[in-house]
């Protein structure tokens, strides 16, 4: 099975949220937290979808750590660009 690494393309997506209005320091903190939640959500999806059960090489102790760190880096890089963070930010800002 051929594995294609598309992480660079995903990290360079051109989507930028347009409807997030940051007006004060509390909005900055709220946006940081909603981005972190989106990163957590994306990491959960990556952890499930990028399982490498049949690899060419033997598994060792570092594989799980490396894969987790890789998924962390991808999810942090992609957070804020899927729209979940924007949706959650706007909802929490309106209802608080």
Residue 3 confidence class, pLDDT cut points 50, 70, 90: low
pLDDT value, residue 66: 84
The domain total for the chain is: 1
Whether residue 32 lies inside any domain: the answer is yes
pLDDT value, residue 22: 81
Any idea what the Cα angle at residue 39 is, between residues 48 and 28, rounded to 5°? 170
Structural domain boundaries, residue 33 = 23-52+60-95
Whether residue 13 lies inside any domain: the answer is no
**What contacts 24+ positions apart, CB below 8 Å, involve 70-76?**
71/43, 71/46, 71/47, 72/43, 74/7, 74/10, 74/11, 74/42, 74/43, 74/46, 75/39, 75/40, 75/42, 75/43, 75/46, 76/39
pTM for this entry = 0.69
User: For residue range 36-95, what is the model confidence (pLDDT) as tens digits?
Assistant: 999 999 999 998 887 766 666 677 778 888 888 989 999 999 888 888 899 999 999 888
Whether residue 14 lies inside any domain: the answer is no
Whether residue 90 lies inside any domain: the answer is yes
Whether residue 3 lies inside any domain: the answer is no
| Residue 16 vs residue 81, higher pLDDT | 81
């Amino acid at each position: 099975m051929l594995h294609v690494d598309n992480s660079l393309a995903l990290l360079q997506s051109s989507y930028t949220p347009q409807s997030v209005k940051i007006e004060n320091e509390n909005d900055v903190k709220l946006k940081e937290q909603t981005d972190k939640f989106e990163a957590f959500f994306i990491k959960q999806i990556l952890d499930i979808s990028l399982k490498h059960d049949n690899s060419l090489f033997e598994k060792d102790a570092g594989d799980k750590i490396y894969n987790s760190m890789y998924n962390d880096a991808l999810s942090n890089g992609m957070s804020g660009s899927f729209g979940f963070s924007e949706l959650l930010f706007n909802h929490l800002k309106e209802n608080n």
